[in-house]
Amino acid sequence: MTIEFRDYRHPEDYAAVVALWERCGPGVQLSRSDQADEIRKKLQHDPDLFILAVSEGGVVGTVVGGYDGRRGLIYHLAVEEAHRRQGLGARLMEEIEDRLRQRGCLKSYLLVAPGGEQALDFYRAQGWQVMEVTLMGKELQ
């Protein structure tokens, strides 16, 4: 089975991507930022940092990144259950990290939801390290 990486296309990919995120369990926490209008705004900033893995026309993986000119952030790495443990997640992470490097990004962050021990193991195997920080947030609207 051939898997191709390509940039996300809005709005035509939206339904398939959200359906994948919803199937991936609690590790992908959807929020207002994942609504179609918010995704459209994200694409105006850095469309090349929303990557899909596609096989036989269907979306089987995604990774979304952001870069603010100083640091990168990884959002929503998701791989269809049938395609897990075959290196696809690692390939998606390599691709997003390469794209961030090409922009001059020196350091990137990601968040892992509580109970995400498998995700922590995966990211550690990719060279990521746990950072002892206090995360704070505030809804602006």
pLDDT along the chain (141 residues), means of 10: 94 98 90 95 95 94 97 96 94 98 97 90 96 92 85
Compute the distance between CA of residue 23 and CA of residue 60 in angstroms, rounded to an integer. 11
pLDDT of residue 40: 96
pLDDT tens, residue by residue, 75-93: 999 999 999 999 999 999 9
pLDDT of residue 114: 87
The residue extents of the domains of the chain are: 4-125
pLDDT of residue 26: 83
pLDDT of residue 27: 84
Fold designation for 4-125: Aminopeptidase (3.40.630)
Compute the distance between CA of residue 64 and CA of residue 43 in angstroms, rounded to an integer. 10
3-class secondary structure, 45: helix
pTM tops 0.75, yes or no: yes
Q: Which residues contact 100 (CB under 8 A, 6 or more apart)?
A: 49, 65, 67, 72, 108
pLDDT of residue 76: 94
Compute the distance between CA of residue 97 and CA of residue 65 in angstroms, rounded to an integer. 9
Please give the C-alpha separations between residue 138 and each of 96, 108, 135, in angstroms, as whole numbers: 27, 21, 11
Residue with tokens 């509580």: 114
pLDDT of residue 115: 86
pLDDT of residue 15: 98
